[in-house]
Chain A
Amino acid sequence: MNQFIILAVVVALMIVAMLTSRKEKVSKVETVKKSKSVEKDAWSKESFVNYGQVQQLRNELIKATEEKLGDDPEQVDQLKKIIDEWADLKVESFKDRRSWVRNPEKND
């Protein structure tokens, strides 16, 4: 009789373990889902511009800089560098939000 009680307790513990652990795992996947959703929302609020638009803006900014600060070549060079870096970052962030389908360089 004792053996049956022990076996019943063991089986009950196993069933509880199986059922309860499922809930814990589901809540973890829920967390992943939420974080992906937050990331998606953040992307959607960003102002994205494609490669062509970035180049157009970059050229306009450089032109304006040269026109207005033409007498200070050192400052013009510095600003050009900053504009170039900004343009690169914009293009990168545009590419980053895309999956491998639209971004052949993306690995995942």
Chain B
Amino acid sequence: MSDSNGNEEQSGGFAKTTNFKWLAIGVAVFILLALMPTPESMLTKAKELFGGDLSPAAVAQKAYNMKIIIALLGACTVFFATEAIPMPAVALIIGLVQLFFGITEPSRVVQTYAHDAVWFIAGSLAIGSTLVKYGLDKRIGMLVVKLSGNKTRNIVLGLILGTAIPSAFINEASIAPMYVPIALALYTLTNKTIPAPNLGKLLMISIAVGCMVGAPMSPTGGARNAIMIGFLEDYVSPNISFFEWMRMGVFYTVIMSIVMAFLLPLLFKPEVKDLSGAVDKLKLDLEKHGKMTREQWLVGAIMILIIFMWITDKSVTASILGFPLGLGGVAITGSVLYMLLGLTSWQDYEKNVSWGVIILYAGAISLGAVFKSSGAAKWLADNLIAIMANFGVSSGLPLIIFVILIGALLTNLMSAGATVAVIGPVVLEMAQASDTNAILVGVGLAISTSLAYWLVIGTPASSIVYASGQIEAKDFIRMATFAWPVALVVMFAMVIFWWVGVLPYDFGVDMARVPVTGG
């Protein structure tokens, strides 16, 4: 999962203690919004959603709850952006606010954290940690060197695809550090004879870009994808399957990989077009690693089995068992299977899985659930649609494009997961209120959050390659100046020509799916 599990410098707010300045600002945002007079439209919405037979005091209480949840969303936005407090603490605060303000009963508050998506995140992280433990990530890197040939352009394509494909299934914070030594070796071996600073930049930035374009391809590409699936559960039935997501996301990954393999060498013109000498030397070094061991084959085979089960959960598994296992059920099956076969231990999971990430996204699910159930999402969505209608972007394709733009912008200011956690419930409610296909809006938002191209801290992979010392912050800006708009165009093309043109989706409500209603 891409949004998580980094090393110390990539810990994304997990190793930190409280920053009181940002904590104060987050609390101020909460208090300002909570003390604001309750808007009349909120009272009307509360009456509309919770029934006209409620007493005026009860309606006022429901409207007050909505306001508190909006205030909580505001404070969470500050906390997610600034990492003012340890991130798992934000997740727990979400539940505490519900408790302290009497929005959710104590016996039900834990339920708001529970979702198949949380199991999915936990299981995926555990599976990823086992693959890394057995060095299967390195084997993929070795395969890339073997298959890419000697031409610089082919090696760039190899690095992009070689990082993109694993990033769709394993945490990118594990993929990038494994590829950095490969790129460094190619660069230093070449640089000994011909000074090649551009080659170093090109190879390094290819790794970061590969990780970013790979994550949208599957639900396992990042916790953001998993939480979007969790949110969609409340809006469409049946929910999007693993295979459906892959079918939607593969277009972006393939097209962007090809586009970037052409674009990056133009932006960072390499001094050398053929890396035969360096590649041959590297291959000799990599041969010292020997052949795949029995354990590595077994770990790889189980991973393939799990991917197969994810893809066929609603077809093969459902026909055998009479019901699907769910993405989380399959992920946990894989992680338990590794333990049963003696390939890993619970201690390994404790050490290598970021449990804080799981709590964080369980909190995001809880926020989404209470945002919908309190009616706050409906109120905010209706108001935003009313404002956006003035600009002609209240439904259908214009709404999807708007959501993609917002996601692509916000992901450069907050982490991708936080962007989905904060605006996911709002845009899904907007989709439902405007009879727009919630799947297109939701998946569109999740994919757009991979466009964190502008800053060295955009993604864990960007920070890792930046810290290697080969590239400067301005190189990211240079890349993003061209790649960010190109990625947006690819996304728009994906929505129009792939999702609606080729795949069986409409901009309007999907009639094959029952919209989930209720507040």
Contact = CB atoms under 8 A, between A and B. Distances in A.
Contacts, number: 90
Given A14-B29, A17-B25, A21-B82, A28 B9 contact: yes
Given A21-B82, A26-B457, A104-B288, A33 B25 contact: no
Interface centre among A25, A28, A107 (most CB of B within 10 A): A25
B99 interface: no
Nearest to B462: A29
A26 B135 CA distance: 30
Contacts of B26: 17
Interface of A: 2-3, 6-7, 9-10, 13-14, 16-22, 24-26, 28-29, 32-33, 36-37, 40, 99-102, 104, 107-108
B185 interface: yes
A100 B178 contact: yes
A20 B78 CA distance: 11
B52 interface: no
A19 B410 CA distance: 11
Q: Is the interface of A mostly helix, strand, loop or mixed?
A: helix
Interface stretch (B86-94, B196-204, B466-474): B466-474
Contacts of B82: 17-18, 20-21, 24
A56 B221 CA distance: 51
B51 interface: no
A14 B74 contact: yes
Given A14-B29, A100-B138, A26 B39 contact: no
A25 B455 CA distance: 10
Given A29-B9, A29-B467, A101-B285, A3 B36 contact: yes
Interface in B466-515: 466-469, 473
Contact of A101 (B9, B22, B282, B473): B282
Contact of B456 (A7, A17, A26): A26
Contacts of A24: 82
Nearest to A40: B469
Interface in B72-89: 74, 77-78, 81-83
The list of the 9 closest CB pairs from A to B, nearest first, reads: A99-B181, A21-B82, A18-B413, A32-B9, A18-B81, A25-B457, A101-B181, A33-B467, A17-B78
Given A33-B467, A36-B467, 8 more contacts: A17-B25, A17-B26, A29-B456, A32-B9, A33-B469, A36-B468, A99-B185, A102-B285
